[in-house]
Amino acid sequence: MAAAKLVYQPEGAEAREWAFDPDGMRSDTLEAIEDATGWTAAEWLDFLVRGSIKALRALLWVNLRKLEPGLDFGAVSFSATEIQFEFTEESGPKDSPTESAESGTGD
C-alpha cells in the first residue's frame, strides 16, 4: 500500500496531521485495530484503500490514542468535512477508484 497522510480537523479545533506508512506500523497498533474492527490487518488495509469509513475511523483512533491514551474506539466519530485521507503523489494506488481519501498514520 502507498504512503498517505491523514488530516483531522474537528469543528472549532486546529487541524492535526499524521503521515501514514503501513509498512512502518507496529504489531501492537495493528493488533489494536484487529481487536477494534474484527478484521485482520490485511483486511483492514484493503478496506482502508477501498474507502471504508470503519477502516478510516480505526486509523484515526490509533493516532488519537497517542494524544489521549485509553480513548475508546466507540468514542471516535467524525463528519466528512472534518477528515481527509490522501495518498502521496509519488506512490498513490494505481488501481484505486478514488484519487483522494482520508489518510492516517501508523506507528
Sole residue written with cell 509498512: 23
What was the pLDDT predicted at 88? 80
Q: Which SS3 state, helix, strand or coil, does residue 16 take?
A: strand
Give the CA dihedral 41, 105, 8, 95, nearest 10 degrees. -70
On whether residue 65 sits in a domain, the answer given is: yes
Q: Is residue 66 part of a domain?
A: yes
- Has residue 68 been placed in a domain? yes
Please state the domain count of the chain. 1
Q: Looking at the domain assignment, is residue 54 inside a domain? A: yes
- Residue 97 pLDDT: 35
Query: Does residue 104 fall inside a structural domain?
Result: no
Q: Per residue of the chain (107 residues), give pLDDT as tens.
A: 568 999 999 999 999 999 999 999 999 999 999 999 999 999 999 999 999 999 999 999 999 999 999 999 999 999 999 999 988 865 444 443 333 333 344 44
Kindly state whether residue 105 falls inside one of the protein's structural domains. Answer: no
What pLDDT sits at residue 87?
Answer: 83
Interatomic CA distance for residues 86 and 101, integer angstroms: 5
Domain-embedded: residue 69: yes
**What is the pLDDT, as a whole number, of residue 79?**
95
Residue-number span of the structural domain to which 34 is assigned:
4-8+21-91
- Identify whether 70 is part of a domain: yes
